[in-house]
A and B are shown apart, each in its own frame.
Chain A
Amino acid sequence: MLKAAEVKRKDVLSQNIFAVTKGLESAITTEHYSRYDGLLQRLDPRVKLATFAVLTAAVSFTESLAVLAVMLILVPLPGILSGIRPGFLLKRILLFIPVFTAVIAIPALFITKGDPLLSVGGHTIVTVQGAKTAAFLVLRVTDSLSLGALLVLTTPWTKLLATFRWFRIPSLFVSILSMTYRYIFVLLHTVNNMFLARKSRTPGTLTAKENRKWLGHTLAATMVKSLHISEQVYSAMLSRGYRDDRLTITRFKLHHRDLLWLLFASTVLTLSVWTG
């Protein structure tokens, strides 16, 4: 996540340039990993999506801290076997949201009512229940994030979209999802150029009010541009005979490794249900 470093930057324009650049970078890295020839990348995307969805649900349902802790260790393993640098995975999963959640969870240590865990001079400071609820929150968030990040990092976007279609997610949504992702990049590039052009023309710093006004104009111009692009895209679709958004070429084929993976995932699931 890009937020942590960004907060330090004082000037709003630089903050925005930073956010946009980071967004573009992150997508390119994701794209890079998803094309790598690794364990998870080789799985049938339907099997992968289904197992990851079920495991995410298990993380949500379980009432056992042990299961959540085991998952925390277990989930990143296949990712590392899939060619994803552990450092990158840690940064991607652990930075920001779990840290943020941990901060959010701190007060729960002290205010949750229950049995004393830490007492000073007869006053209960931390309760067992408080410690447990904080752990639940942080572990659940981290486990879910790891699962989501692994899925996206090891599945090319286009295969993920085809899988959504296969799971009968309405074509209208999948098509819009696909096109939205595509044009985010076009708009980000446009916006980035507008920011840089502004930066090159602004020797001093602007007041917050001037900045707001300028940002408003940038956004409005971007909106007008997006309207214009949508008209053009529609023409380009019509020009090539657009009739139906349900047509797709992708076909899936199951392999032995998919069955092995299913076996592994169901074992993890059974264990978590059995213990939790």
Chain B
Amino acid sequence: MVNLYRKGVLAVFIVKHSSKEYGTMHIPDGYISPATAGIMYGAAAPFWFIAAKKVRKSLSGRTIPVVALFASFSFVLMMFNIPMPGGTTGHAVGGTLLAIAAGPWAAVIGISVVLAIQALFFGDGGVMAFGANSFNMAIILPLVGYYVYRTVSGSSSPQSARRLFAAAAGSWIAIVTAALLTGIELGIQPLLFHSADGTPLYCPYGPGIAIPSMAVGHMFIAGPAEAIVTGLVLAYLFKTGFVPAADQEQSGGTGRLHLLWAGLGLVALLTPIGLLASGTAWGEWGVTELQELGLGFVPDGINRLAGWWPAPLPDYGFPRMGAVVGYILSTIAGVGAVAAMLWALGKTLLAKGRRSEA
């Protein structure tokens, strides 16, 4: 229990020092290992490639000025201090707003470019970590926000209150998802990368601290700031008769893609749960402490797996393959379970929405 208390205090401490600044989710160089940074570049690359193709196709010759001006706007937006209820101020990323207004792929490129400028000129986010930052904030964030918006909007009339709600909900979910991802990327560092004597070489905090501290700050400050900004701006734009890109697409044409991305969004959202479970199982705390943390449910599989997972090999600072495989397996298991839950929830929500339309 003492351990748990200490962890809680720590999480609050870290949140307090990280949520005030807009660089919260921007990972500087030094926080993640070059291996993680490389993998994240690799994960981002196909999205950049698809985005470039899609944007060139939908905007043709206009691509450069349109995406550039949206990106400039998003840079300015990130600079703003948004007054929050309760007297504090928060910063928004504007990823979901951009994805709704300009289309998800334009947002992917636009925000990546903004992150590049922030990294180069302001040191906000590292150069090595640019792939990771882009994956979290410029790829997952706008894509999740966009598909939540599309899904919650359903067949409601353009510029309706439901669409505003959808946009705000999308913004919040997207930013929390991105924060969780960031938390995972930071949290796996001490587990995977440490020197022979056990010194963590990069971020020193494991998933048990990194994930909650990223999540909490973004659930209560950055997330609401993002939702407020998206809602206010879209409400204004709706009044002027502006039709955002997200509402211009024919829903029939993108149905399949839509599902695909909704799936991806869910996976992204759920990965941390699987990881939290697996991470702690490996880490300093046992399964019982995990239950104390309030995560009452620990999949049986993880319990059993915990037994035969070898500990990360200390001599090299890299884990044995078994640990990685175990982590992936448990993630998939956790993702599967909660995906089903959320899918059912989404179904009910959608059905309700349709009834209210009729």
Asked whether the complex places CB atoms of A and B closer than 8 A, the reply is yes
The residues of A with any CB-CB pair to B shorter than 8 Å are 1, 3, 6-7, 12, 15-16, 19-20, 23, 26-27, 30, 53, 56-57, 59-61, 63, 93, 97, 100-101, 103-105, 107-108, 111-115, 128-130, 132-134, 136-141, 143-145, 148-149, 151-152, 160, 170, 172-173, 175-184, 186-188, 191, 208-209, 211-213, 215-217, 219-224, 226-227, 229-231, 233-234, 237-238, 242, 245
Q: How far is the CB of A199 from chain B (nearest CB, A)?
A: 15
Contact with A along B79-119 (1 / 0, CB 8 A): 11111110101000000000001000000011011101101
Closest to A23 in B: B79
Main DSSP-derived SS at the B contact region: helix
Would A223 and B14 be within 8 Å (CB), given that A129-B199, A136-B202, A230-B65 are in contact?
no
User: Beyond A180-B113, A234-B65, is A105–B119 a contact (Cβ under 8 Å)?
Assistant: no
With A136-B201, A144-B128 as known contacts, state yes or no: A179 contacts B64, CB within 8 Å. Answer: yes
In the complex, the answer to whether B76 meets A222 with C-beta atoms within 8 Å is yes
Q: Are A172 and B56 in contact (CB under 8 A)?
A: yes
Find chain A residues with CB under 8 A from B112 CB: 173
Q: Are B67 and A176 in contact (CB under 8 A)?
A: yes
Query: Which residues of A are found within 8 Å of B117, using beta-carbon distances?
Result: 177, 180-181, 184
A57 and B34 contacting across the interface, CB-CB below 8 Å: yes
Are the C-beta atoms of A61 and B34 separated by less than 8 Å?
A: yes
In the bound complex, residues from chain A placing their C-beta under 8 Å from that of B242 are: 224
For chain B residues 51-87, which have a beta carbon within 8 Å of chain A? 52, 56, 61-73, 75-77, 79-85, 87
| Known contacts A129-B198, A208-B83, A60 near B70 by CB under 8 Å | no
Q: Which residues of chain A come closer than 8 Å to B52, judged between CB atoms?
A: 170, 172-173
Q: Which of A130, A177, A222 contacts B73 (CB 8 A)?
A: A222
| Given A20-B79, A60-B37, A148-B120, A140-B30 contact (CB < 8 Å) | yes
Within the complex, the shortest CB–CB distance from B286 to chain A, in Å, comes to: 15
**What's the Cα separation between A3 and B51 when bound, in Å?**
32
Q: How far is the CA of A173 from the CA of B20 in the complex (A)?
A: 31
Chain A nearest CB from B51 CB (Å) reads 10
- A183-B235 in contact given A101-B30, A172-B56 (Cβ < 8 Å): no
Please report the C-alpha to C-alpha distance between residue A191 and residue B235 in the assembled complex, in whole angstroms: 19
Question: B336 an interface residue at 8 Å Cβ cutoff?
Answer: no
Minimum distance in angstroms from A18 CB to a CB of chain B: 9
How many A-B residue pairs lie within 8 Å, measured between CB atoms?
259
| Residues A237 and B76 in contact, CB atoms below 8 Å apart | no
A-B pairs with the 9 shortest C-beta distances? Answer: A216-B232, A140-B30, A144-B29, A179-B68, A220-B236, A108-B204, A230-B69, A183-B72, A141-B30
Q: Decide if B317 is an interface residue (CB 8 Å cutoff).
A: yes
Instruction: Give the size of the chain B interface in residues (CB under 8 angstroms).
Output: 84
Cβ A219 vs Cβ B233 within 8 A: yes
Q: Which residues of A contact B269 (CB under 8 A)?
A: none
When distances are taken between beta carbons in the complex, the residues of chain B under 8 Å from A173 are 48, 52, 109, 112-113
Q: CB distance B232 to A56 under 8 Å?
A: no
Contact across chains for A133 and B200 when beta carbons are under 8 A apart: yes
Are A141's CB and B28's CB within 8 A? Answer: yes
Q: Determine if A133 and B31 form an interchain contact, defined as CB atoms under 8 angstroms apart.
A: no
Given contacts A144-B30, A177-B113, contact A133 B199 (CB under 8 A): yes
Contacts of B190 in A (CB 8 A): 133
CB closest residue in chain A, given B119: A148
The reply to whether A176 and B113 form a contact with Cβ atoms under 8 Å apart is: yes
Residues of B within 8 A of A130 (CB): 204
Q: Please indicate the chain B residues that have their CB under 8 angstroms from the CB of A184 in the complex.
A: 72, 75-76, 117
A129 to B117, CA, bound (A): 35
Q: CA separation between A208 and B87, bound complex, in Å? A: 7
Complex Cα distance A215/B94, Å? 13
Q: Is B114 touching A223 in the complex (CB atoms < 8 A)?
A: no
Q: Beyond A60-B29, A140-B30, A144-B127, is A176–B235 a contact (Cβ under 8 Å)?
A: no
Q: When A101-B30, A184-B76, A208-B84 are in contact, do A129 and B201 touch as well, CB less than 8 Å? A: no
Report whether A233 and B69 are in contact in the complex, using a CB–CB cutoff of 8 Å: yes
Q: In the bound complex, do residue B127 and residue A148 qualify as a contact, i.e. CB atoms below 8 Å apart?
A: yes
B237: interface (CB < 8 Å) = yes
Name the B residues within 8 Å of A132 (CB-CB): 195, 199
Having A100-B21, A176-B68, A181-B72, one finds 16 other A-B pairs with CB under 8 Å, namely A1-B123, A56-B29, A56-B127, A100-B23, A137-B30, A144-B126, A184-B72, A184-B76, A184-B117, A188-B76, A209-B85, A215-B82, A216-B233, A217-B232, A233-B68, A242-B61
Give the residues in chain A near B72, CB-CB below 8 Å: 179-184, 186-187, 226
CB distance from A2 to the nearest CB of B (A): 9
- Kindly provide the distance from the CB of B33 to the nearest chain A CB, expressed in whole angstroms: 7
Task: Please state if B70 and A226 are interface contacts (CB–CB under 8 Å).
Answer: yes
Contact assessment for A179 and B65 in the assembled complex, using a CB-CB cutoff below 8 Å: yes
Chain B residues in 8 Å Cβ range of A177:
113, 116-117
Within the assembled complex, what's the spacing in Å between the Cα atoms of A97 and B21? 10
Q: How far is the CB of B3 from chain A (nearest CB, A)?
A: 9
Whether the Cβ atoms of B14 and A107 lie closer than 8 Å is yes
Of A12, A152, A213, A245, the residue contacting B232 (CB under 8 A) is: A213
- Given A111-B6, A152-B121, A230:B66 Cβ within 8 A: yes
